[in-house]
Structure 1
C-alpha cells in the first residue's frame, strides 16, 4: 500500500491556522501544528482547572472537521476537589463492523511548570534551534494532537473504516487517574476492543546525530507507587536543640534509601529489549546491554546500566525522594518532617513488599510510611501480529524500512496499566522520537524536535489505515 506523505485538507480547516508558516508546510502539517500550538498554550496542570478549556477547543475542531455530537462524549470527573474531564471520540465503522474496535489513548493533562524557572515561557509553543519548546510538547500533547489530527485527516478524505476506532483522552493521567480508570471501565463494559494502542509510550530512539537506531514498542510498565515517609518529634524552642530532631532523622532515612540498591531483576521482555537495543546502541552502554541480555548476573554490565538514567529503570525497582516538607516556624524545632518518595516497581515485586523494604532500609522505629497513590499492577501484553505489521509498514513509509522494532518495559506509568489490568493487550506505539539528551518530560524546558514532530504525523494515519482496512 502506498501512502502520501501528507494529504491536503480543505480550505475550511485552514481558516484557523496562522499565516506565518502557511507556505512552508502542507495543509495537514499546518493544521497539526496549529492544534499543537493551541494545546500547549492551555495550562492543563492540576490546580489550574484548564482541562475543560482544552476539551472545548478539541471538540470545536472535531465538529468543524465533520464529527457529530453522536461521535463525541465528554465526561466530568472530580479529582481531589477539582473538575477535570475525559474526551472520547468515535470514528465509526462504515456499515456493519468487520472487526472488533480499537481504542487509542493519550492524556490531555501535564505536570505543572513554574514559568520563573524556565528559560522560555512554558505555555507558549516556541520554535527555536530545531525544537518545539513548551510544557507537554512531548508528554503528551503531541500524542493528543497526533490522534486528533489523524481522525480529522481521515474524515476529510472520506476514509471508510471496517471497524470502530475510538480515541480516549484522559484528563488527569499525571495525578489521580480518576478519568483514566473510568474510561478504562467504560471501554471494558461498552466497547470491548480487540486491543488498545497508546500514543503516550513507544517511539523512535535516535542517536546524537538524529539517526534512528530502533523503534520501541511498550509492552509492559512498572507499577507506580508514591509513599509519604514521616518522622514526628515533640519539637521545642530552637534555642534548646534536642537530639531527636525530625528533620535530621528524616534526612538520615532518605540517605539510607538513596544508598539502597534494589535487587537486579529481568523478564523475557526486558532481556529481549536489551538484546535488540544493545545491538543498536554504540559504546559502553550498548555493550553492557548486550552483556546483560546474555548474562543478567554480569556485575560490570549491571553497574553500567544502573549508572545511566535511560536504563536503570529496566534493571529493577527504583525509589527516589521527590518532595520535602518540615517544620512550622523558623524559631521552633520541627515537630514533623515528611518526604514524598516515588517508586517504580518491577512487575511481580508488589507494593506491599516495596513498602516493607523502605521501612527496613530506613532503620528508624519512629518512621511512618503511608501509601498515597492508588494504582494497580498490570501484566505484560502480547504483541498482536497485525499491530506489529502495521508499525513496520508505517516505519517503511517514513524511510525506515528494516529498522529494529523492540518491545520494552516502560519505567514510567501510563493510562495503559488500567487497560492491561482489565485484560486488554495494550501497546505503546507513539509516533515521535528523541535523542538521549532530549528527555525533558516533567522537567525544565521540555522539548520535542521539529523533525520528530513533522516526521511522526503520518504514523497513526498509516497504522489506522492498515488496521481498519483502508485502501
Structure 2
C-alpha cells in the first residue's frame, strides 16, 4: 500500500516504471504512514496496537487535530483509536464513522519468502503482513483526514476515525467502540475500509466493484477427544489422536447445503456476465438456478467465491498429547465456521455433531458469535462511492455483496448503525493473500486509491 497521489492515477502508466517518480505530499505522507504501521507487529501476542494508535494520534495532532479530539483507548493488551474531525459548528447532522483495524494475524518469518514485518517491494507489489488487511485502509483513511484538514475542508457534520485493536481475535475493542462509546452511537452510518473493493481479471480489466452490505456469522469450536492414555510402549486401539483424526476427516468430507439470498444471486449474475469463460458461466447458471449442482460445485472450487454459496467449517489449529513417550490423554482441533445469514449457530453445531458421528467428542463453542443484519443500500452513499470508483474505472458496476469473512462492521450493524465496506483497493481476487503467506498488494492498487476516501467524504459532507 504505498506511494503516489491522486493526480498520480492519471500519470501512473507513465511513471510506473520510472526509477524515482516524484510523489505528491499526500502520496508521500500516505506511504510513510503505511510503512511505519506495517513494520510494527500488531498480532495478538505482541500487544503493539497501543504503539500504532499512539503513532497515528501523533500524526493527526501534528496535522492540527486537537488533542481532545484524538483519543487512544487502551483495553487489556490492546488499544483503539477514535479521532474526531469536527464538522460545521451549527450542524444538526449525525456523524459518519470510518472504520479500520490496526491488528494483524500472526506471521512466522521462517515460513515467508520475505520478512513479514518489513515493507519490501518489487516492480509490481508491496509485501508484508497487513499490507492489505487492514493497514491499507488505516493508512489511507488517516492520511485522507490529514489531507482534508490541511486543505481547510469543513464537513457538514462530525466525522470519526474508528480503529479497533483486536479485530482479528476477540474483538474486545470493537465491542467497546460499537456498544460502549456514546459519541459513536449517534452515528448515522459507518463506512468500513476493511472489505469491499474492485475485482480485476488477469488482464487488469475491472470486472465489478463490490460494496459489503452483510457478513456471515463467525463461530469457532474446539473439538476434543479424551482418553485415559498410558505408556507409548503399550498401544491401545482407542487413541485420542485417532478419534480426533476420524472427526476431522468426516468434517473434511462434508459440505453444507447451498444457500443464497437475493443479494448473492444478483452478485453472481452480474459478475458472471462480465467475467465470462467457464467460471463466469457457472456464476450465471448458479444465479438463475441455485439448485444447479454442477454450477455450485464449480464455485465451490474457488476460494474467492465458495463462502458466498454456503456455510463453511474448516479445521485451523491442532494440539494433542503431553509427552512423546505417552499415549495422548487428549487431542483438540479448532474448527472455524463462517455461517450463512439465516442459519443459526446451534443448527451448525448440531450438524457438526452429526457429521463427526462420535458422541464422546466434546464440543466447546468459543466466544460469543455475533449475527448481524443486512445494511440496505443508500442512494447517497452509493453515488459518492460510485464517483470515487468511476474516476478510476468509468464503466464498472457497483454491486452489494455478503462478506464470507468477518469484520468490525458486524458489531456496528448489530448496534443499529448501518455499515458498508467500501475499500479503495482494486485487484485480482486470486492475489488476495490476507492471513496467508507473503501477503502483498499491487502498487497500482495502492497509488490508485489515494483519492478514494477524499472523494467519498467530499461528496457526502461537502457544501
What TM-score does the superposition give when structure 1 sets the normalisation length?
0.93
Q: Within 2, Cα distance between the matches of 1:141 and 1:238?
A: 48
Matched residue, 2:15: none
Matched residue, 2:422: 429
Unaligned runs of 5+ in 1: 8-19
Q: Within 2, Cα distance between the matches of 1:435 and 1:402?
A: 17
Matched residue, 1:239: 233
Residue 350 of structure 1: how far off its partner (Å): 1.1
Q: Within 2, Cα distance between the matches of 1:347 and 1:437?
A: 25
Question: Is residue 34 of structure 2 the alignment partner of residue 51 of structure 1?
Answer: no
Residue 5 of structure 1: how far off its partner (Å): 2.8
Contact kept in structure 1, 2:304 and 2:430, CA below 8 Å:
no
Residue 272 of structure 1: how far off its partner (Å): 1.1
Q: What per-residue deviation string (whole Å, max 9, x for no partner) do you get for residues 177-230 of structure 1?
A: 000001011456654111111000100101112221110000101000010000
**Aligned with 2:106 (options 78, 103, 112):** 112
Matched residue, 2:12: none
Matched residue, 1:67: 65
Matched residue, 1:165: 159
**Aligned with 2:432 (options 434, 439, 455):** 439
Structure 1 residues 188 and 388, CA, compared in 2 at 3 Å: closer, same or farther? farther
Range moving further from structure 2, 334-343 or 93-102: 93-102
Matched residue, 1:174: 168
Matched residue, 2:341: 347
Matched residue, 2:326: 332
Contact kept in structure 2, 1:22 and 1:30, CA below 8 Å:
no
**Aligned with 1:102 (options 93, 96, 101):** 96
What TM-score does the superposition give when structure 2 sets the normalisation length?
0.95
Matched residue, 1:13: none
Contact kept in structure 2, 1:133 and 1:445, CA below 8 Å:
yes
- Give the match's secondary structure for 1:356: helix
- Give the match's secondary structure for 1:374: coil
Matched residue, 2:14: none
Question: Is residue 383 of structure 2 the alignment partner of residue 382 of structure 1?
Answer: no
Structure 1 residues 22 and 375, CA, compared in 2 at 3 Å: closer, same or farther? farther
Range moving further from structure 2, 268-277 or 244-253: 268-277
- Give the match's secondary structure for 1:339: strand
Q: Within 1, Cα distance between the matches of 2:57 and 2:163?
A: 12
Question: Is residue 81 of structure 2 the alignment partner of residue 87 of structure 1?
Answer: yes
Q: Within 2, Cα distance between the matches of 1:208 and 1:317?
A: 28
Unaligned runs of 5+ in 2: 9-17
Quote the RMSD (CA, aligned, Å): 1.5
Matched residue, 1:16: none
Matched residue, 1:26: 24
Q: Within 2, Cα distance between the matches of 1:35 and 1:54?
A: 10
Q: Within 2, Cα distance between the matches of 1:179 and 1:305?
A: 35
Matched residue, 2:248: 254
Residue 236 of structure 1: how far off its partner (Å): 0.8
Residue 433 of structure 1: how far off its partner (Å): 1.7
Contact kept in structure 2, 1:187 and 1:193, CA below 8 Å:
no
Q: Within 2, Cα distance between the matches of 1:139 and 1:439?
A: 10
Q: What per-residue deviation string (whole Å, max 9, x for no partner) do you get for residues 226-250 of structure 1?
A: 1000000111111111111000110
Matched residue, 2:408: 415
